Amino acid sequence: MTNKVLFCATVDYHFKAFHLPVLQWFKEQGWEVHIAAKGKIDLPFTDKKFDIPIQRSPFKKENIAAYSQLKKLLEEHRYNLVHCHTPMGGVLTRLAAKNARKQGSKIIYTAHGFHFCKGSSLANWLIYYPIEKLLAEHTDCLITINKEDYELAANRRFNAGAIKHIHGVGIDTERFKPAEPIKKNELRLKYGYRKEQLLLFYAAEFNANKNQQLLIRAMANVKEAVPDAKLLLAGEGRLQDECKKLAKEFNVERNIDFLGYRKDIAELLPMCDIAVASSLREGLPVNVMEAMACGLPVIATKNRGHSELIEDKLTGFIDVHTPELMAKKIIHLHQNEIDLKKMSEASVKKISSFSINRIIMELAEVYQSYFPEVDHAKREHNRAYI
């Protein structure tokens, strides 16, 4: 009888963005792969997909219907393995899977960054901490993607069957990689930038957490030392128009390009010089990993996700929490080519531990601990990836 796995998350795009290699891995092992999430996009490596009305907010009434649908789905299909992601995807799936777990289903939850952490609001601790601790008791394996979350779960005795630390969701280092000087100049010409121009990059949704305002204010100081410097901001969101107004207010609208939603990040990053990251809270940011894989030093605010990736003065600068300090570090790297080159090389070396090949192997070890029969196939698969 074919083994079946169910992957759950709040929205289906989560799998398209982060987990296609894992879906492919299961198909190559001969498993039947199902997806449960809100949305109607087509996903490869998927046998069945269920549109479940999961909402991000825990207070939405649609989540009651989502819970009922998940419970029915789990009872009908009797999955060997259920792997859930995202806060509400994780909450509803584990609640719905209580009976399935008693009947032998293994339940895995990947926390992509607890909403409670050092520096989080009291409200986040009061709402999310007790939920995650309680649901750990209904989890065979809790996977964390940064060391701070791993230590928090372990030290506060989250009673999951096992607690594991895995290096994120993985970066395709064949796609995201540094460009040779000739290729870098070709990309700049293609996108309308000059060879010697200082280019900074940040890809993120425009929301309060991503904090693009810090970068916009920093550009006012950068402009004084490097008049033609450009900050490229990729992404969309409800605060985008507000950020455009702020750029005009600080008279740096000519120094900032608002790129909108982009599918060509793998081309944009290698033509740039420095990545910047201003978010207040991160689990393990893919945008930073992609930048580092492309050989960019990163200048960033300090949070658990940034701290996991960026080594201060080695792969960039961290704890850059004011516009003035951000600008100072940007100007320093622009004026010190040796430091820029050393940090570029260190970034590429550092991110090798976060490659998709490494993540597939780490996840395979977790899956194999519950299903030993995939061991031989796992080894064959890893040789193919490496």
Q: Average pLDDT in the 118-138 region? A: 85
Record the pTM.
0.86
> Does residue 271 register a pLDDT over 90?
yes
SS3 108: strand
pLDDT at site 45: 97
Share of the chain above pLDDT 70, in %: 97
Q: Average pLDDT in the 234-252 region? A: 97
| Residue 309 contacts residue 326 (beta carbons within 8 Å) | no
pLDDT at site 137: 94
Block residue for tokens 């219907």: 65
> Does residue 106 register a pLDDT over 60?
yes
Q: How far apart are CA 129 and CA 115, in angstroms?
A: 8
pLDDT-derived band of residue 300, with 50, 70 and 90 as boundaries? very high
Which helix or strand (DSSP H or E) is residue 51 part of? strand 48-51
Neighbours of 129 (CB within 10 A): 17
Q: Average pLDDT in the 116-143 region? A: 86
Residue ranges of the alpha helices (H) in the chain?
Answer: 13-18, 20-28, 62-77, 87-96, 98-102, 122-136, 147-155, 181-191, 212-225, 240-249, 265-268, 286-293, 304-309, 323-335, 337-351, 356-370, 375-385
- Give the total residue count for the chain: 386
In sequence order, what are the residues at sequence separation of 6 or more whose Cβ sits closer than 8 angstroms to the Cβ of residue 352? 173, 358
> Does residue 376 register a pLDDT over 50?
no
Q: Average pLDDT in the 250-262 region? A: 97
pLDDT at site 328: 97
Q: Average pLDDT in the 223-232 region? A: 97
Q: 357 or 380: which carries more pLDDT confidence?
A: 357
| Class of domain 181-352 as given by CATH | alpha beta
Q: 117 or 45: which carries more pLDDT confidence?
A: 45
- Output 332-337 pairs: Cβ under 8 A, ≥24 positions apart: 333/273, 333/274, 333/297, 333/299, 334/198, 334/225, 334/226, 334/229, 334/273, 334/274
pLDDT-derived band of residue 378, with 50, 70 and 90 as boundaries? very low
Task: Domain ranges for the chain, please list them.
Answer: 4-170+355-385, 181-352
Fold match, 4-170+355-385 / 181-352: yes
pLDDT tens for residues 320-341?
999 999 999 999 999 999 999 9
CATH topology of domain 4-170+355-385: Rossmann fold (3.40.50)
Which helix or strand (DSSP H or E) is residue 316 part of? strand 316-317
> Does residue 382 register a pLDDT over 60?
no
> Does residue 138 register a pLDDT over 50?
yes
pLDDT-derived band of residue 144, with 50, 70 and 90 as boundaries? very high
pLDDT-derived band of residue 43, with 50, 70 and 90 as boundaries? very high
pLDDT at site 386: 33
> Does residue 124 register a pLDDT over 80?
no
pLDDT at site 383: 39
pLDDT-derived band of residue 59, with 50, 70 and 90 as boundaries? confident
Specify whether the backbone of 186 is left (phi greater than 0), alpha (psi in -120 to 50) or beta: alpha
Q: How far apart are CA 368 and CA 375, in angstroms?
A: 6
Q: Average pLDDT in the 24-41 region? A: 96
Neighbours of 297 (CB within 10 A): 28
pLDDT tens for residues 152-209?
999 888 999 999 999 989 999 999 999 999 999 999 999 999 999 999 999 999 999 9
Strands 106-111 and 141-144: parallel
Share of the chain above pLDDT 90, in %: 84
Write down the mean pLDDT value for the chain: 93
> Does residue 375 register a pLDDT over 80?
no
CA torsion sign for 313, 317, 321, 324 is positive
Across the strands, what pairs with 299? 276, 317
Across the strands, what pairs with 6? 34, 82
Look up residue 303 and give its amino acid: N
- The single-letter DSSP state of residue 173 is T
